[in-house]
Structure 1
């Protein structure tokens, strides 16, 4: 299938061709015809599958077909983070190279002057973060009464971030009649569907990937380590190939800063990106990372939403996420569009429960590899539903539990422990301690 077969205007096709896009992705194939026909749409696809073009191309075609009547926005795209809002704006502007469609983006963390000026001039398309849009509504600097199309991008993340009250306030300012609503999300938890049913009209539903799936081209690897040696192990992994760009996830803003500062002190070009950074700091760090000037970007989960980097080879989970579904979002930054990628997790004993939850969510094995010189002082007790295939530091398979051992995990393989063995040999299996109580549920 080609973009021509989807019914897109020649101006859009020309812009796509000049950017090297020839074949639509599955979500684009499924969504674009439905949006062009005017249907409300509930669409699910993982990060990096082309969601922006799936809603953006038919949206731009609709706006270009009729001239702007006044200065009020005719289409509104809501995005959860500044980075994602900027990314969507940048992508859509590239598609409008041969169209007369004006656009603006509004987000917090910066002054309102330029945003106010853009809104005064008038725009066809407004991309906004909910919080800053509420500020503009309160000031009376934006009028949403002419919005014909509403897009909620990454709706699951907006709900996770507590934007539901803001979204409902914004919806109250939009016209109800003849409004087309498009909701895009990586996952469809029940609250998402409930929200959709409240303000969408008989939406068509498209799900091109099952919930919580990850690209098959990503290799998942776990390195057991004592928590006090995580920094040293991270530095060891980075030093193995200093040319590889790496996105590192930390759990907290303060932790991100400390980790980036540590890497800088030992000679690794690193930057941190999180919610306490100013917008200019975040944009500069991201631009330097994309340009290769910074080799390691340390990020929190929320700040990483909207990071769009082609061919990112490696993601390292310095801290595992507290919510298993965030693992899917994190590693979705690598292994895009058929490229190979690595997802590496540094796991201490206190992280074992979180890793078990991730394994249950994904329903797949992970490779456990002890790194020579960094094996935990006491082997990690994985418990029921261990994460996967364990290998000792020298690359030898760690001993298996007896085949009849109770407690099976995804794919039916018995859990194994990773032990650091002597070079070229195996250590004998350790006796298994008796189990007490049920395994914590994910």
Structure 2
């Protein structure tokens, strides 16, 4: 069919479908009434602005809403074509139309074009068709930026790398498209799940599971959570009954895979949540082993709060031509500006007294106090519990104890949670007003994730950080984080930063920086600088398609990380065998 013939057919279809409504003198000029003869719906068209809407226009009405829904319907035009008039009259006579559709000859006529569309107000469309958006009932008036960008891409079946800070709403960013993916395939859940979500800790896994249950209930989506520190029996029984969605920590899922009690052959929607944290905890071997059990023809979504080289590497290996969505600057570690950060340079012996002052001055609220060791965590919780009510959470706690502690903290029964870094990421509890870093973490990345437990979902928060002489190697990086978030930098901290050359030489978050491991940085000899080194050393290659805007793409090395001994604080739970990142590294 020729283009002209196709246009003619489209024009005939449009004319047969859309008619002028009977003249209505009460309509404000230049609005016209239109009728879709297929549905019988009446809507209104403004020929000057070319806007069509369901609501009846009123005189001196403001400009149409900015939120619009595009619907593929042909529009009338302003062309006064007499031959078109005759075609219109002939069609009326042929179809036996009533006289209500006749208009004067100077009225605009219908003409189909390739890009002609009716633009309808989304809200009016919902009202007219009695559509209720269920997400409103969950307290959301609009999607978060990461959700708004993830949903349309995921619904196209594309792989996604999403780099967004914690508390940005990424959980629903991948769950909602995953539910729709599962409903479209409608596979037998007894043969294995369709959607698999991997997360680094059991706390985060259970939170994802709770969201999946809440939002999947109306669609009859079945879900189970697999994590260590809890008996396998109930989890295995749920798998035997059949589930659509599995949320799992890598260690426990590998255990069940080795038992041959789960089949991943039907998984076609894979999510790696907090991928950077999983790699930090040494779970890369487990992740790769799990992925080998999943069909290669799948959709993979990776969500991460940071974008270091090892995350780029695994993304390049596991994802196929992904769309990368960045919320914020991925080349720098940026703290949430909604959090007011107070850094206090203090001696170790004065910490406990200062902590009491902060708690007394701010009054009753929810606090998370971070310590570096389990022993200090227990000691501090015992000390605070007498006067304020506090509980401890760390890797040595059983799952039952951890569940009880978190329940008491959520309810306010125990308003102070003293925690190691096991709770730094993924823990999403509402109304946490204050975060206190009693001990500074092993790097500014963990610092940002710690304070990110407050100021979530648009709320504000306050973070206090005790900074001692032994933390001085992190002073330069901490100053950069504070400046980037428009926070006050104490003069003592600036002096520490100027005295220490460590932060300038070995910082992770710069366009030419090395990667910092624990308390030791890479030596300059082991880091590749410039394009000349990249040519001479095959290990120094950038991942094509994963370059951050504004970064120095001539610089980059990948390093392998071998699982090290359990440090006691980085914990997956129970028999999952939590692993810490090795202190040493070598170019791959």
TM-score, with normalisation over the residues of structure 1? 0.80
Deviation at residue 64 of structure 1 after TM alignment: 2.1
CA RMSD of aligned residues (A): 2.6
Q: Give 1:352 deviation, angstroms.
A: 2.9
User: Which residue in the other structure is 1:399 paired with?
Assistant: none
Mapped partners of 2:422, 2:437: distance in 1: 14
CA distance in 2, matches of 1:381, 1:95: 47
Comparing 303-312 with 139-148, greater Cα deviation is found at: 303-312
1:222 corresponds to 2:343: yes
Partner of 1:416: none
- Contact map agreement 1:79 1:127 (CA 8 A) in 2: yes
Determine which of 57, 64, 85 is the counterpart of 2:176: 57
The structure-2 alpha-carbon separation of the partners of 1:284 and 1:304, relative to structure 1 and needing over 3 Å to count, comes to farther
1:376 paired residue number: none
Residue matched to 1:194: 313
Runs of 4+ aligned structure 1 residues displaced above 4 Å come to 1-5
- Give the secondary-structure state (helix, strand or coil) at the position aligned to 2:186: coil
**Residue 310 (1) aligns with residue 430 (2):** yes
Conserved 8 A contact 2:475-2:494: no
In structure 2, stretches of 5+ residues that fail to align are: 1-65, 70-121, 123-128, 505-522, 525-588
Find out whether 1:382 has 2:492 as its counterpart.
no
1:351 Cα deviation from its structure 2 partner:
2.4
Asked if 1:47 corresponds to 2:166, the answer is yes
Question: In structure 1, the residue corresponding to 2:417 is in which secondary structure?
Answer: strand
- Distance 1:69-1:385 versus aligned 2 partners, 3 A rule: same
Residue 70 of structure 1: how far off its partner (Å)? 4.4
Q: How does 1:6-405 map to 2 (within 5 A)?
A: 14-71=133-190, 72-177=192-297, 179-211=298-330, 212-265=333-386, 267-361=387-481, 363-364=483-484, 366-367=487-488, 382-385=495-498
How many Å separate the matches in 2 of 1:270 and 1:355? 30
* Deviation (angstroms), 1:323: 1.4
Post-superposition CA distance 1:239-274 (Å, at most 9, x none): 223312111111112221111111124x22001111
- Equivalent residue pairs, number: 375
Larger radius of gyration: 2
Contact 2:368 2:419 in 1 (8 A): yes
Deviations 1:132-177 (A, max 9, x none): 0011001111111110110000000000000001001101111112
Q: CA deviation at 1:383?
A: 2.9
- Offset, 1:42: 0.6
Change (3 A) 1:214 1:3: farther
In structure 2, relative to structure 1, the CA distance for the partners of 1:345 and 1:386 (3 Å cut) is: farther
User: Which whole-Å CA distance do the structure 1 matches of 2:381 and 2:227 have between them?
Assistant: 26
The answer to whether the 8 A contact 1:360-1:385 is kept is no
Whether the 8 Å CA contact 1:107–1:128 is kept in 2: the answer is: yes
Residues 1:356 and 1:41: Cα distance change in structure 2 (over 3 Å): same
Give 1:304 deviation, angstroms.
3.0
Structure 1, unaligned runs of 5 or more: 371-378, 388-406, 408-439
- Of 47-56 and 209-218, the range deviating more from structure 2: 209-218
Return closer, same or farther for 1:141/1:3 CA change in 2, 3 Å cut-off. Answer: farther
Q: Distance in 1 between matches of 2:242 and 2:169?
A: 28
Decide whether the 8 Å contact of 1:107 with 1:132 is kept in 2.
yes
2:457 is paired with a residue whose SS is helix
**What secondary structure, in the 3-state scheme, does the structure 2 residue paired with 1:126 have?**
strand
Kept in 1, the 8 Å contact 2:475–2:493? The answer is no
CA distance in 2, matches of 1:38, 1:52: 18
Pair 368,173 (structure 1): closer, same or farther in 2 beyond 3 Å: same
Q: Secondary structure at the match of 2:240?
A: helix
Q: Is the 8 A contact 1:83 1:305 kept in 2?
A: no
Deviation string, structure 1 residues 319-339 (Cα, Å, up to 9, x no partner)? 111111111111111112332
- Measured after TM superposition, the shift of residue 238 of structure 1 is 0.8
Moved more, 247-256 or 299-308: 299-308
